[in-house]
């Protein structure tokens, strides 16, 4: 039996970005951030490390990068707060951890992993998740550390339009990573600030295991980005894995089938997928998706727009 080659696929969100509305500076910043995240995950996988370590490392880089809507640079709620969600899943064991409504943990993806490994639970929320983070001695920051002026401007612009409860039309900056390691195991991680102007403690798909995040060595690992309500209703990440496992579909076939359902419901966004055979796919029905891929065969790619 041949040793599996490692694969890493990342995303920084799907949405309405185009060459006309994304400045050259923002384009370059996003590409640099994606490349840095690939570097972090690749270093672990190339050294024989685990897919779980690799996806956490890649997502931590994206969380710290203000170019993306996760960690520093997250969007504001309607009330002007920042509430962070994240999830991780280990395809070898189907262990999972997730957090929602976190306000002080610098790297929510690492808190999600702590929930998976250090608690008997899968999903912790709000004050409880913040308290558990302190107990686990994870890095804490003042909530203002996450805030950047551009996100405040986006909230004010959305409120001025008075077009709806939250901003469903702008770009979605959720970040995520999926990986296959040389041991044949897959893992997934997702992190987000949610939607600009979200209200009433809204929770999207990112921290919902089976909706925005899922990993199973028997099929694949998936991380989603987009209008989370639709991904929750479709059970998108699990549905893709189930189609691969039970119907024998390729990652591309399974992803396209689930996306057809999401589109029929009115949803937009994207997914990244990798499987234990080393194949990978990214699918999105928006004009663009920040994305990147690296593999043990030397492949290396960073892209934003649909025609790349």
Q: Give the angle 92-272-293 at the CA atoms, nearest 5°.
A: 95
Mean pLDDT for 13-36 is: 93
Per-residue model confidence as pLDDT tens digits over 264-289? 999 999 999 999 999 999 999 999 99
Which residue is catalytic, options 7, 77, 105, 174?
174
Catalytic, 174? Answer: yes
Residue in the structure block whose two tokens are 């976190």:
102
Distance CA 225, CA 173 (A): 8
Share of the chain above pLDDT 90, in %: 84
- Classified as helix, coil or strand, 259 is helix
Distance CA 114, CA 121 (A): 10
Average pLDDT, whole number, for the chain? Answer: 93
Q: Is the pTM of this model over 0.75?
A: yes
pLDDT in the model for residue 1: 41
Task: Choose the weakest-confidence range: 123-127, 225-229, 247-251.
Answer: 225-229
Would you say residue 129 has pLDDT above 90?
yes
Strands 123-125, 175-180: pairing is: unpaired
């Amino acid at each position: 039996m041949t040793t599996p080659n490692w694969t890493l696929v990342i995303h920084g969100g799907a949405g309405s970005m185009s060459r006309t509305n994304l400045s050259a500076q923002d384009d370059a910043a996003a590409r640099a951030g994606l490349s840095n995240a690939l570097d972090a995950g690749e270093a672990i996988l190339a050294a024989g490390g685990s897919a779980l370590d690799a996806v956490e490392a890649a997502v931590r880089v994206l969380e710290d990068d203000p170019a993306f809507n996760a960690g520093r640079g997250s969007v504001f709620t309607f009330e002007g707060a920042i509430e962070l969600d994240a999830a991780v899943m280990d395809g070898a064991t189907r262990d999972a951890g997730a957090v929602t409504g976190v306000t002080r943990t610098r790297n929510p993806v690492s808190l999600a992993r702590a929930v998976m490994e250090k608690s008997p639970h899968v999903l912790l929320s709000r004050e409880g998740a913040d308290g558990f983070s302190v107990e686990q001695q994870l890095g804490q920051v003042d909530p203002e550390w996450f805030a950047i002026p551009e996100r405040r401007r986006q909230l004010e612009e959305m409120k001025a339009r008075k077009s709806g409860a939250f901003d469903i039309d702008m770009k979605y900056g959720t970040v995520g990573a999926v990986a296959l390691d040389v041991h044949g195991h897959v893992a997934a991680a997702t992190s987000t600030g949610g939607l600009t102007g979200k209200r009433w403690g809204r929770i999207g798909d990112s921290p919902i295991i089976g909706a925005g995040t899922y990993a199973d060595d028997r099929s694949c690992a998936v991380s989603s980005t987009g209008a989370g309500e639709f991904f929750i209703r479709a059970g998108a990440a699990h549905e893709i894995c189930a189609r691969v496992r039970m119907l024998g579909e390729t990652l591309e076939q399974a992803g396209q089938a689930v996306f057809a359902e999401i589109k029929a419901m009115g949803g937009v966004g994207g997914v990244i997928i990798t499987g234990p055979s080393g194949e990978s796919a990214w699918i999105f029905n928006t004009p663009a998706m920040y994305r990147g891929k690296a593999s043990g065969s030397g492949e290396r790619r960073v892209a934003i727009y649909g025609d790349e």
